[in-house]
């Protein structure tokens, strides 16, 4: 398609770049030949391309930043839409890396800082670039100024998405959210891409052996350490910064590009100071005199050092900003003055902040640990048996250990009463030891003799029965005439052998228990003589929680949790035990050891979860004009709320004594008045 020699007031000189739907030409002003611009001409005329071109121009027009290519104008020269943009003498970062390979640390950091600043500016306006890659970063020749360009697929907050499931961006540099679709891409996705760009500059290679996210390629994973790419001159903490920027979970990345720059600068400044001390050949003649006032940021701690890539970064960076803010003596003075004035009775020393002469300000984080555990118990195997009625064969398989049996999968911390499980491969047929395989056992009543001796009533002859009846009738008649004779007759009958009292005898009868067989069916094998024997065990699951925190003497924990909000920064689970890095944290290690003590050969930890939260603390050391160490005071400022606990040392004792005296004399006066009027 023919492109005119002139567009607007600019004459096109030569083509300097092209894309899928556009060409970029170098042009000069017709009246000002030294004024050069880049003209981006849209070659495609379809509706969607025109809409995207117009949107890119609208977004670029809002951006005014030293490290973002500036848009000068936008227009239509039939049949082409075009934009006039700032011309940068130089080339892209992609061309620079292809030509030089890995860049020097200084150049890498300069480009990284400049593009980070450009991204933060765009993000502050709600604009997500969505294609941060070396091909969209220009490096100005001579000055080294880096500029972010090509907002062709950028998106503003609240803007509708035309193709929600499309994957847009440069392969190898887009984030895990890109493959989820356009709706999932946020400013944190730009930070992921910036991390890949930094890795690419410092190593000349990509963080992965194969670019993730493409068809038939591996999924996203942590980047290879820089040492594996031949970069061994940087401290290992630089890898931690990259792990944070390239975290798969967006919440674990730095909240802003500036936060990543600050963290990298802190690491490299410590590294450079250490290097200077090690390489220094002339030791100082005498140690430097202690400064009158010292202040610093957050003291290095195990949690950030060890768990850094897995932390939720926003609260951590907020704590760093708080620490920087509280390094200011003016800020501390203001907080102490406000705290002194807050007492309801005005009993604290007024203007405490102005009276205080600051010596040292240090900030740290108090961490709270919560270990949640799911224990699983499996009892020792016991024999279970049943009669072998069917005589069916069983498959010959190796016996499986109880801890290798698959149980209901563990998906959450849910207690389970469990049940009884048979060990595969433990089934066997055995002879019944109770009956020795005969199927019957001697009758316990007759002991196999088939007969038992029983006692039964002795039967009387007929004449004895008649005599007893006559005697009974006579006795009855006598009873009607003489009561005393009745009694003697009765007594005589009772003692007579034929008085009717039953007599017994013992005889042998067939044993009723075994029906005279002398044996019974074996209750253990049900008469089969064989048993199916298996090994079984019982299992169950139960949960528990163990908590701990960093030791801080003289701290009222109830007050702290009541007045300050703890920010959660870590929440991770691990199946079958603990993550190795957990035990590397000094305060968390004893908690893990306590949990491990509850496990043994029959009990294991099948799921664990560590939650870490923190409250930032700033300690202020000062004096009130008293010389010597005894005049030093220490106050702690807790939380993002800047709370200071009550402290009797800073009462205005003169006012307290005056109030007490006034109250005492008032009470005495009332007592005298009462006695005077009674």
Give the active site residues.
131
- What 8-state DSSP symbol labels residue 575? E
- What 8-state DSSP symbol labels residue 160? -
Confirm if 521 and 527 have CB atoms less than 8 A apart. Answer: yes
Which residues contact residue 28 at a Cβ distance below 8 angstroms, ignoring those fewer than 6 apart? 10, 11, 13, 34, 35, 36, 37
Confirm if 147 and 182 have CB atoms less than 8 A apart. Answer: no
Mapped onto helix, strand or coil, the DSSP state of residue 96 is helix
Confirm if 131 and 148 have CB atoms less than 8 A apart. Answer: no
How far CA 53 is from CA of 58, 152, 335, in Å, comes to 9, 7, 52
Structure-token match 């943009």, residue found: 85
Structure-token match 């973002």, residue found: 68
Confirm if 389 and 526 have CB atoms less than 8 A apart. Answer: yes
Which residues contact residue 536 at a Cβ distance below 8 angstroms, ignoring those fewer than 6 apart? 381, 382, 383, 384, 420, 421, 422, 423
Which residues contact residue 138 at a Cβ distance below 8 angstroms, ignoring those fewer than 6 apart? 69, 88, 90, 91, 92, 93, 146, 147, 149
End-to-end, the C-alpha distance of the chain in Å comes to 118
Q: How many residues does the chain have?
A: 678
Q: Where are the alpha helices (H) located in 84-186, listed in sequence order?
A: 93-100, 105-124
Name the residue among 417, 372, 371 with its Cα closest to residue 541: 417
Going by their DSSP bridges, the two strands 567-575 and 382-387 should be labelled as unpaired
Name the residue among 417, 335, 399, 354 with its Cα closest to residue 624: 354
């Amino acid at each position: 398609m023919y492109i005119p020699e002139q567009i607007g007031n600019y004459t096109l000189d030569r083509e300097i770049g092209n894309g899928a739907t556009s060409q970029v030409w170098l042009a000069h002003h017709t009246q000002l030949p030294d004024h050069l611009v880049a003209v981006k001409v849209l070659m495609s005329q379809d509706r969607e391309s025109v809409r995207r071109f117009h949107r890119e121009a609208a977004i670029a027009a809002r951006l005014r930043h030293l490290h973002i290519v500036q848009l000068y104008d936008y227009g239509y020269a039939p049949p082409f839409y075009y934009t006039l943009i700032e011309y940068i003498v130089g080339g892209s970062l992609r061309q620079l890396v292809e030509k030089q390979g890995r860049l020097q640390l200084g150049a890498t950091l300069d480009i990284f800082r400049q593009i980070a600043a450009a991204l933060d500016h765009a993000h502050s306006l709600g604009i997500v670039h969505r294609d941060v890659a070396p091909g969209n970063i220009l490096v100005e020749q001579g000055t080294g100024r880096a500029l972010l360009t090509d907002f062709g697929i950028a998106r503003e907050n609240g803007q509708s998405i035309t193709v929600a499931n499309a994957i847009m961006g440069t392969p190898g540099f887009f984030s895990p959210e890109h493959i989820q679709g356009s709706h999932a891409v946020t400013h944190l996705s730009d930070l992921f891409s910036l991390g890949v760009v930094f890795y690419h500059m410092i190593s000349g290679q990509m963080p992965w052996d194969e670019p993730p996210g493409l068809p038939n390629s591996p999924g996203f994973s942590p980047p290879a350490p820089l040492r594996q790419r031949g970069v061994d001159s940087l401290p290992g903490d630089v890898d931690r910064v990259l792990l944070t920027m390239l975290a798969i979970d967006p919440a674990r990345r730095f909240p802003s590009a500036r936060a990543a720059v600050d963290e990298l600068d802190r690491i490299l400044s410590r590294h450079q100071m250490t290097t200077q001390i090690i390489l220094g050949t002339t030791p100082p003649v005498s140690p430097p005199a202690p400064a009158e006032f010292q202040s610093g940021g957050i003291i290095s701690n195990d949690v950030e050092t060890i768990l850094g890539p897995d932390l939720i970064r926003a609260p951590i960076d907020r704590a760093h900003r708080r620490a920087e803010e509280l390094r200011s003596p003016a800020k501390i003075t203001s907080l102490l003055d406000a705290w002194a004035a807050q007492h309801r009775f005005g009993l604290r020393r007024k203007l405490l902040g102005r009276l205080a002469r600051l010596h040292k300000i240090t900030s740290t984080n108090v961490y709270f640990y919560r270990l949640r555990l799911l224990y699983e118990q499996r009892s020792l195997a016991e024999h279970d048996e049943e009669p072998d009625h069917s005589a069916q064969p069983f498959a010959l398989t190796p016996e499986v250990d109880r801890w290798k049996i698959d149980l209901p999968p563990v998906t959450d911390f849910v207690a389970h009463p469990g049940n009884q499980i048979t060990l595969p491969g433990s089934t066997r047929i055995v002879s019944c030891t109770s009956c020795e395989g005969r199927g019957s056992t001697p009758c316990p009543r007759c002991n196999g003799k088939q007969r038992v001796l029983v006692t039964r009533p002795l039967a009387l002859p007929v004449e004895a029965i008649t005599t007893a009846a006559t005697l009974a009738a006579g006795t009855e008649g006598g009873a009607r005439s003489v009561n005393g004779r009745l009694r003697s007759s009765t007594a005589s009958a009772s003692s007579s052998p034929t008085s009717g009292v039953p007599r017994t005898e013992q005889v042998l009868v067939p044993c009723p228990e075994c029906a005279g067989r002398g044996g019974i069916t074996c209750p253990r094998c049900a008469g089969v003589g064989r048993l199916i024997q298996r090994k079984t065990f019982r299992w169950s699951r139960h949960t528990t929680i163990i908590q701990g925190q960093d030791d801080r003497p003289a701290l009222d924990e109830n007050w702290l949790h009541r007045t300050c909000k703890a920010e959660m920064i870590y929440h991770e689970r691990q199946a079958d035990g603990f993550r190795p890095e957990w035990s590397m944290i000094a305060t968390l290690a004893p908690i893990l050891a306590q949990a491990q003590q509850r496990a043994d050969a029959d009990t294991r930890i099948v799921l664990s979860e560590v939650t870490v939260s923190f409250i930032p603390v700033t300690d202020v050391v000062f004096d009130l004009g008293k010389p010597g160490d005894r005049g030093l005071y220490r106050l702690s400022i807790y939380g993002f709320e800047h709370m200071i606990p009550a402290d009797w040392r800073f009462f205005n004792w003169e006012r307290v004594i005056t109030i007490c005296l006034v109250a005492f004399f008032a009470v005495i006066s009332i007592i005298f008045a009462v006695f005077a009027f009674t």
